[in-house]
Chains A and B, each alone.
Chain A
């Protein structure tokens, strides 16, 4: 007697069996896929929102450039604010790769007021800054109205207001008068918001000559601005402290405003971690839900298992059928969750004026991860199904 053929289940038929099993209980399939969907949606949303927000920051920084470094005087060992050497600016200018330099000095004892009647204590958190030449070029700032302080206007009691300062003082027109210390200054210009030098937004900016004459400015800058190409930022950064203050390089603080801007616009890491945690737990619970559904399904479908065995299914075929069913069940959840996560990202991104940017790999990974979860969840029920004795199954 020749051996009969083999018992074979074609791959498309196996997938068909998986779908068939799910169609039998659509509501149950929906509910057990829900857990997985929520888990994946949470994870995709977290990743999507974070990448979308970063996309905006990247775009902004591309426009602003990231070559700006600022040097501020730190505190000395006794906690007193140190001042920078007036010659330091010229030294910084000589560093290789440096394109623009400038400086500013905060006048801590002088404040700006709308007029004489204002209570001297009500400074409005505004600062009076003395600006070195080419501060605008170095910080990438632009004038909204009026004009910047040129050499002539630096001699005169003319002030340029940052955007916030102008708002707080209620000034919209060039030529308005303000009080700085004991003196009246004419508003010569108003600046646009300056993302990389936000201290300018809350400043009333005057020229060095007039500051020395009227406001007791001692000639020491408190911040030095330095613009270089992005490529040379690391080397310049290395050289800056010793260049600015060769005697006490440790007391000098160098920072990169573009980094601060990026950090401020990135979704809070702790919050991201929390959501990823919640997503993983939901995924785990979803996986348990799938396993549970499959266990019930195996128990309910013993007759079907017995019948299939009588029709020539091997144990492996039965196992594969239930495994595929679990994977499809989870994949349903994964697909729905991925869609939902993308939708949440889109809504949040639109609300914040960001571009929606979810890496396609994340979307693919979302579905792949769920299929893996489904496979793991399906292993035990599938093995149980395969072990079911056909005669007992047919007798029930």
Chain B
């Protein structure tokens, strides 16, 4: 296994109920630091299940999941939570922003469980919002923002703690093409700055822009393609800055 792998699946299965239905079957996978990966596949193929396992929101029924080399199956709730608080960021299709709370405080929530004092959280939240191009929307509440802007707020919340890995489950699923493209651009910029990004998408065209594409079907990896070296070089150069 690669020493640079941030996420590593070894023979990972996840089953539900009894008789067990397998959402993920004996998956082996390594995602390296700095990669930008798309996961594609039909509905019910196990994409979300896989992302939840990568994010330690769920546990494998069998096999080993390693995040930054740590076997998460051996960790307790506090340690997993610490991992999520400091090393992992999540973006969801439905944004999950708090109504009646402005963008700044929504983003600051991303640091709530890291023990950073409130004023510092808000300062960093403002920086994060500027980095996703929403520096002029700090005081806006979610209902005053467009769908694309809301998703960018959610992304800012996910990355305000500078996680090693950003996991996005259909971040463009609820957006029109233009705002979707803007969201993907933000993800690409974050990746260029060194964050490992895994993004689930239904959109084949969007996926085709990604340097690496993993196709899954019925809980199995069906295809795993890396694009030509050129974008990867550009990515490494970005990571170095």
Binding site for B on A (CB under 8 A): 1, 3-10, 12-13, 20, 23-24, 303-304, 306-317, 389-391, 394-395
Contact = CB atoms under 8 A, between A and B. Distances in A.
B1 to A, nearest CB: 14
Interface of B: 48, 52, 55, 57-58, 68-70, 77-79, 81-88, 90, 92, 94, 96, 98, 100-101, 109-110, 112-115, 117-118, 157
Given A4-B87, A24-B100, A303-B96, A13 B81 contact: no
A38 B77 CA distance: 41
A4 B113 contact: no
A395 B48 contact: yes
Contacts of B101: 20
Nearest to A23: B100
Given A13-B118, A312-B83, 12 more contacts: A3-B79, A5-B86, A9-B113, A10-B115, A304-B96, A309-B84, A310-B84, A311-B90, A311-B110, A312-B84, A312-B85, A312-B114
Given A1-B68, A10-B117, A309 B81 contact: yes
Contacts, number: 102
Contacts of A394: 57, 92, 96
A7 B81 contact: yes
A316 B77 CA distance: 9
Nearest to A393: B57
A302 to B, nearest CB: 11
Contacts of B77: 314-316
A337 B81 CA distance: 40
Main secondary structure on chain B at its contact with chain A? mixed
A316 B79 CA distance: 12
A313 B113 contact: yes
A5 B109 CA distance: 17
B113 A7 contact: yes
A304 B52 contact: no
A307 to B, nearest CB: 4
A391 B57 contact: yes
Main secondary structure on chain A at its contact with chain B? helix
A317 B113 CA distance: 9
Contacts of B57: 306, 309-310, 390-391, 394
26 contacts: A4-B86, A5-B86, A5-B114, A6-B78, A6-B115, A7-B81, A7-B113, A8-B113, A8-B114, A9-B112, A9-B115, A23-B100, A303-B94, A304-B96, A304-B98, A310-B88, A311-B84, A312-B81, A312-B83, A312-B85, A312-B86, A314-B81, A317-B113, A390-B52, A391-B48, A395-B48
A306 B79 CA distance: 17
Contact of A6 (B55, B82, B88, B118): B82
Nearest to A4: B86
A364 to B, nearest CB: 30
Contacts of A8: 113-115
Contacts of B81: 7, 309, 312-315, 317
A9 B70 CA distance: 24
A8 B116 CA distance: 9
A317 B70 CA distance: 23
Interface centre among A3, A4, A311, A316 (most CB of B within 10 A): A311
Contacts of B112: 9, 13, 308, 311-313
A307 B96 contact: yes
Nearest to B167: A310
